[in-house]
Amino acid sequence: MLYNGETGFIQSSDGSEVTILFTTGDACETCGLKVVCAPGKQSERLLTLPQAGEFQLGQKVQVVELSNLELHLALIQFGLPMATFLIGLFLGYVMPFQDILPRELSAFLLACVGLGFSFFAARHLVQRIVDIIPEKYLRIVPCV
């Protein structure tokens, strides 16, 4: 899971946001969910979250995932385009375009329109998730 149980160190804190420094592991090379992660120099990653509590510079903290972020993103990235393609395919097949275009061509064209719609819808939904990731999906817990 993304960040679930990873430990890092507080690099900076300005009162409203806290930046956590992680060392990059081997899994970072194949991770496709770099939505909130910014790979840096010397195999380090930074994560900036709203500050929820008092943290000192250099303090060891753990990031806990509260909800399944990866599942939500996968459903948006793969499920939404597939659903809009199939809806467009079905609508293009049953709508009365047979006088103008062959049934298969109208079904394919409406399915492509559905894919185009899903691109903008998925982009909007992912941006909304990125905006609420810190509040809904991740929490900083001090390590004891």
- How far apart (Å, rounded) are the C-alpha atoms in residues 120 and 127? 11
Alpha carbon of residue 55 to chain centroid: 27
Q: How far is CA 16 from CA 19, 37, 48, 49, 128, in A?
A: 10, 19, 10, 9, 20
**Number of neighbouring beta carbons within 10 Å of residue 37:** 16
- For residue range 122-141, list pLDDT tens digits in order: 999 888 887 776 667 777 77
Rounded Cα–Cα distance for residues 24 and 97 (Å)? 55
CA nearest to 100, candidates 111, 90, 112, 92:
92
Pairwise CA distance, residues 60 & 20, whole Å: 9
pLDDT tens figures, 53-112: 788 888 888 887 777 777 888 889 899 999 999 999 999 888 877 678 888 888 899 999
Predicted model pTM: 0.58
Q: What is the pLDDT of residue 1?
A: 37
Mean pLDDT of the chain: 79
pLDDT above 50 (res 113): yes
